[in-house]
Chain A
Amino acid sequence: MTDAPLLDVENLWVKFRTRTGVFDAVRGISFTLGKERLGIVGESGSGKSMTGRAVLRLIRPPGLIEADRLAVHGEDILSLPDKRMRQLRGGRVSMIMQDPKFSLNPVMTVGQQLIEALCAHEKVSRSEARKRTLDMLDEVAIRDPKRVYDLYPHEVSGGMGQRIMIAMMLLPNPEILIADEPTSALDVSVQLQVLDIIDTLVRDRGMGLMFISHDLNLVAKFCDRIVIMYAGRIVETCKASELRNAQHPYTQGLLNAVPDLEHPRDHLEVLKRDPAWRDAPSVSARI
């Protein structure tokens, strides 16, 4: 079996032109995504979200994307016409955003939005669409799909809203799911539930998951492979199970900075940022 990666990125740059010059949000990173769960971790401003958006070509001017290679299933994204790109987006590649409050349309019922998402990518009859939508809602552990189907977004809780978003994104059977901080707006207990759902669905369907988060511990528990970004570059990449042996001082600093319930410390370790990290070349996360 040839194991060509679902997503292949080489030397990706995201640049923004400002009055004072060109600002590089992502600076020449390379990675691949197979049928696995890839965690992308970094602090705010590290370029992790920009990477996710760049893959879907969702960067608006004055931002621009440059790459030696940016391919989904061998199809070069940068040269695709807009129409084909729209098919790809939400069809073969889906994205879950941070806050369901802003990603669901407040004046349409949950059901209408789900059906719309499905019909945008496939020709299906209404009854078929409805059936698949209800099945999908059931799959994301919504207890009473028929009732939720007719609710408006403001009538559902944050956790349920996020599950609805997941359902919506998975309806067209994408091959790649990009989840940008999908649980940061949720309470801890709901967080785990939502992660479980994503996990099960991704495994069952054999999708590739790109999980973007600031929470190193969460990603370590949830993903197979981790990419750590700093100032638009990849500073380290490793298997999630080997994270505790991480070498880079930035990764270690992030791990040590988290206050830990079980192991109290008088003082938390403070990250000392070395300017050399910025200039060090990006580590490739290609397999």
Chain B
Amino acid sequence: MSTSQGLRAWLLSEEPTSRQQARYASWYKGWLTLRSNTLAMLGLFVLAFLILGAIFAPLLATHDPFAQDLGQRLLAPGENGHFFGTDSLGRDIYSRLLYGARISLYIVLLVVMVAPVVGLIVGTVSGYAGGWIDVLLMRITDIFLAFPRLILALAFVAALGAGIENAVLAISLTAWPPYARIARAETLTIRNSDYIHAIKLQGAGPFRIVTRHIWPLCISSLVIRVTLDMAGIILTAAGLGFLGLGAQPPSPEWGAMISEGRKYILDYWWVATIPGIAIFAISLAFNLIGDGLRDVLDPKEDNA
């Protein structure tokens, strides 16, 4: 107990004595803010639950997600030891859901590693450079923005071929323009502030200013936007799966599962509904976390 008290005091110290302490302290204070937001904690809890489910899918699953048993097809939830019932080929929906979480999280992770990064680079360069570079980059962004996201993703997948990786690529290519817009808007307000003038007067070049002084300030608003967009990314992935252009059968991707269940939706509601609830849960979780992060990461200064 006394050591944890000591750690807490160390983290909340008004006068940190080292770089690390200052950094850990600011993280800890952020965590305290996030923790005081009940809804964000709920989202975090749901997300942690899903991630753990995905990681330990082989241990938690009661059946082989790919094993078909036509004798057991379309069983209602709870029947014969199938928590969420079985689908049209007699596969256990609960087990498929767990393995499907892996695919959904994998897609989200890949998109998140591509789209915001591209957006950040394009947006900050555009905003900081100005002039014709700005015009050129922003018109390209506009072209991408003008297409409905799913249609553009469809076109990409049609050109590249169906499959998860191509779906990810297609979603990333359609998802970056809003990030570029946000990053540019942030950069435009930041670039004329006195602290950027000051570092310019220290003789810093544009590359250094953008990467070391502007990026850290843009990243927080991008992170917030990404968490809010996660839901959209999952839904687009699910939509592609639903249209048969994402993950291919028999892969237990959630969108594909809904697509398969669609035929039976009137008589056997659970086949489509249960993966739908999963998508809803993860989307909501990300949204709640995003809202909480907004309070934590907002660089406005709390002098109160």
Contact = CB atoms under 8 A, between A and B. Distances in A.
When A and B assemble into the complex, do they touch directly, with CB atoms less than 8 Å apart? yes
Interface of A: 16, 18-19, 23
Nearest to A20: B304
Contacts of B36: 19
Interface string B283-304: 0000000000000000000001
Interface residues of B, number: 2
Residue in A16, A18, A19, A23 whose Cβ sees the most chain B Cβ within 10 Å: A19
Contacts of B304: 16, 18, 23
A26 to B, nearest CB: 16
Nearest to A16: B304
B38 to A, nearest CB: 14
A23 B303 CA distance: 12
A25 to B, nearest CB: 11
B6 to A, nearest CB: 20
Contacts of A23: 304
Interface in B258-304: 304
Interface string B20-51: 00000000000000001000000000000000
Contacts of A19: 36
A19 B33 CA distance: 10
B260 to A, nearest CB: 49
B304 to A, nearest CB: 5
A47 to B, nearest CB: 14
A16 B304 CA distance: 9
Nearest to A62: B304
Nearest to A45: B303
A-B complex: 4 closest residue pairs judged by Cβ atoms: A18-B304, A19-B36, A23-B304, A16-B304
B210 to A, nearest CB: 32
A24 to B, nearest CB: 13
4 contacts: A16-B304, A18-B304, A19-B36, A23-B304
A16 B302 CA distance: 14
A30 to B, nearest CB: 26
A23 B36 CA distance: 19
